[in-house]
Structures are given as C-alpha cells and as structure tokens.
Amino acid sequence: MRISQRHVPRFLPIQGLATWRVPGGAVSAPAMNDPSTIRRLYGRRQGHKLRGGQQTLVDELLPTIEVPRTGALGAASLFGDDRPLALEIGFGAGEHLAAQAALYPECGFIGCEPFLNGVVGALAHIRERGLTNVRLYMGDALDVLERLPEASLERAWLLHPDPWPKARHAKRRFMNDGPIALLAAKLKPGGRFRFGTDHPVYCRWAMMAMQRATAFEWLAETAEDFLVRPPDWPETRYEAKARRLGHEVWYFQYLRRKAC
C-alpha cells in the first residue's frame, strides 16, 4: 500500500519529539499529530454580525487589554507586576473567566478564545464588572502557552472543549498528549488545572490522556469530587446548556506535581 500524508499519523511516528522543559525533568510530547503539532484551528471564528455597541467594545476596549500577538509573555509584561497568573482556554462567552477574575482581583487572568462573538461576550462582562485584571487573546491558546515562561501559571481551566466525537477527529481534541505536556510545563508545581465536560467520549479520552501525564495528579477521592461542581467553579454557558439537555457533567481537578 502506498503511504500517503493522510496515513502518516496513524502508521508512522516520523516526526521528532517536541520537548518542553519542566521543573524536575523534561516532558516530551509524543510524535503524533495533535493540536500542538497540527496547529490549525477548527470551528467558527465569527457568528452573527456585531451590533454597534459590540463593535465599539472590539474597537475600543479590546486593544487596551489584548495580549500581544508576538514576543514573550509574563505577568510583568501583561499586568505591570509579578502577580499570580491564571489561564482559561476557550472561554466561550467569558462568564467563567469574568467570575474568576472578580473572585481573585489580585491575580492576572489570561483568556484565549478564537471566536469573535465569544470575545465580545467577555468584553461585555469585563466592562460591566469593571475588571482590570483580565487580558484577552483572540486565537489559539497554544500560541499563548508557548510564549509564557515555564512554571508561570497558578491555575488553568479548560471547560467544555469542543468534543470532536468522531474517532478520526480525535487529534483535534485539546486534551491530547502534546497540549497536556505544554500545560504541565507552564503550570507551577503545586498549580491546579480544571477540566469540565459533559461529553462521554471526550471524558473517557481525556481521562486516559491525563492518566498518561505523570506531571498531574487527579484530585478526586470520592465520586462526588467529579460529579458535583465545586462552589468556586462558576457554571459556563455550555454547562448550563448540557444540564438543560439532561446531560451529566463531569468536573476534574488536577494538581501539577512538584516532581515527575
């Protein structure tokens, strides 16, 4: 059989290992195609046309709090001091990001979301709540993660990521070895990563990926720990929709181990 480019990821691990240094050792992303190697965003970039007030938010507020598109990132460059940093990947309409930022005003929050209408939602929350500790990146969270220093994040969230339920699309799922290794490298030892989903296929896939990631310890002792949303975990729009549809929702909390 002739091996075409289409077959390569399935049969031949020919790409080199991408390695991120982490405190206590190196974490290697396996040579497979996943979001950290394919570097392509799937999904919508824009929905309905923006109304006047929404366009004003994009034109006036966004430029003042936008994460630069190139160069190294850090608390000092983004917030002017060395405050603790937190990152939300795919914040949707921004309700969780804004709620966390309001809960922890002493921390700096970076939100990443490629969907323009979602960014507008976050901008509206930021303006309504008068938040000054949020920076937004309209694009791929991997672009931001790569530019952050190692061991710089206290917290990270990935809530209801696009499930890509077909097996042939599994490489598009954010919860894959490459992005998880990158996240491990950028979280501080002792830092926390929260992941939530209502999708059974994604849930199983993500649990297996996190089990392979020795840098993380799953902080669940009883079933309640992953079946009940913790009080400081504000509900997202997707979670509310999942509940309306009668879906079960699973809440995962991981600790970035001190040594791995």
Cα separation, 235 vs 55, whole angstroms: 26
Query: Is residue 216 a contact residue for ligand SAM (CB under 6 A)?
Result: no
Stretch that binds ligand SAM, among 12-20, 60-68, 83-91, 119-127 (CB under 6 A): 83-91
Note whether 178 binds ligand SAM by CB under 6 A.
no
Query: Which residue carries 């289409």 as its tokens?
Result: 6
Q: What does the alpha-carbon distance between residue 108 and residue 78 come to, in Å, rounded to a whole number? A: 8
Stretch that binds ligand SAM, among 23-31, 125-133, 137-145, 215-223 (CB under 6 A): 137-145
CB 19 within 8 A of CB 28: yes
Give min distance, CB of 146 to ligand SAM, in A: 12
Q: Pick the catalytic residue: 143, 162, 225, 232? A: 162
For ligand SAM, which is the closer residue by CB, 99 or 260? 99
C-alpha distances out from residue 177 to 214, 224, 248, Å? 11, 27, 25
Q: Is 162 a catalytic residue?
A: yes
Binding-site member from 108, 121, 161, 191 for ligand SAM (CB under 6 A): 161
Candidates 85, 141, 180, 184; binder of ligand SAM (CB under 6 A) is 141
Contacts of 233 (CB under 8 A, 6+ apart): 96, 194, 196, 251
198 touching ligand SAM, by CB under 6 A = no
**Judging by beta carbons within 10 Å of its beta carbon (0-12, 13-18, 19+), is residue 145 exposed, middle or buried?**
buried
At 122, is the secondary structure helix, strand, or coil? helix
The catalytic residues are 162
Given the rule CB under 6 A, which residues bind ligand SAM?
41, 43, 89-92, 112-115, 118, 140-142, 159-162, 174, 236-239
